[in-house]
Amino acid sequence: MDNKMHLHDDMTHYHQMRAACGLASALMVLRPRSDGTVREILDKASADVQRDCQGLKSMLDSENTRHQVAAAFILLKTAISDLVQEMLAQHDPAAYEDIQAVILYEMRTRLRVKRTGSAANQGIVDEYVDTGKITGQLLQSYAMIVKSNVELKLLLAMFGYQFVPFPGSTDGTGALSLGHGPKRGKVVEPSTRKSYAYTSPSLAIAFLIQNFDDCGILVCRNAHWSAIKAMAIADNRLEALYYLDPGSTTNKEFTLNMNDPSSRLYCFRKNAGLLEKSRHTLHDLL
């Protein structure tokens, strides 16, 4: 039997702040502890937060939470930036069309729900949209709400990771799901060139196998994000997927239930052109 373990061995665990599973999982994909460019950007954003945002000292004391706050800060800076809109439109207008408008709509809705009846909270959101001002209160509130796939798509794009949609996605997000598909051990050919025009579990698995080594992969299960770290293959059979859970306090690898219909996997591949453009854009923003 031909067994093979595909592993992102430099992926390290981040323990999430409250409701920050998306930020923590994105950081696992970005791997700032081994990628100096990512770390440099996060350190610059952290310095901006320390200088401009009051009341967040305790969140900046440890690298674990500091990086999550920095990632939230970068999202807030980029969600309203004309520079970012122009950069993404030039890079791939079809992939990033209206992404900022969707994020701002989601942000207003979720922050309003989080602090129902808080006129002050709504006021700081309005001020942010109108002037770009990011207060400590806004940043703390935004950092600790669950992120959507659209927000994580923008965050990862700012570090050069292009979303790779599964053409057979049925939910409109580009995600792939294994939950309605073949049981463990379904045989697929990784080199298949069949069309993905129809949703097929076999094709979803083939897509995953083809893209795993070159992609960072996030999985969302019941509104909780995690990062896929390893994939076990035996004779072209997908045997198991293993993930790091930001809700855990350890770097234990958990086995994904591939028959869970709530699981959605999102693939992101580093793109040299996007990386170069995003680095220049962030240099101007931070």
| C-beta separation of 266 from 163 below 8 A | yes
Amino acid 108: pLDDT: 83
State how far the Cα of 11 lies from the Cα of 33, in Å rounded to an integer.
9
Q: Provide the domain count of the chain.
A: 1
**pLDDT on residue 195:** 34
Q: Are the beta carbons of 21 and 49 closer than 8 angstroms? A: no
Apex 6 CA angle, 188 and 190, nearest 5: 20
Q: What does the alpha-carbon distance between residue 264 and residue 37 come to, in Å, rounded to a whole number?
A: 29
pLDDT at 93 (0 to 100): 92
d(CA 48, CA 70): 9
Domain around 100: 3-285
Task: Give the residue among 262, 217, 269 at the shortest CA–CA distance from 242.
Answer: 217
Are 76 and 128 within 8 A, CB to CB?
yes
The 10 Å Cβ neighbour count of residue 41 is: 23
**Whose CA is closest to 242, among 225, 226, 222?**
226
End-to-end CA distance of the chain, in Å? Answer: 52
Q: To 5 degrees, how large is the angle CA 154–CA 156–CA 160?
A: 110
pLDDT (0 to 100) of residue 7: 96
The pLDDT averaged over each successive group of 10 residues in the chain (286 residues) is 85 97 98 96 97 94 97 97 95 92 89 59 84 94 95 98 93 84 41 39 87 97 97 90 97 94 95 96 95
Is the distance from CB of 262 to CB of 171 less than 8 angstroms?
Answer: no
17 alpha carbon, distance to own chain's centre: 15
Q: What is the pLDDT of residue 10?
A: 94
**pLDDT for the residue 125:** 86
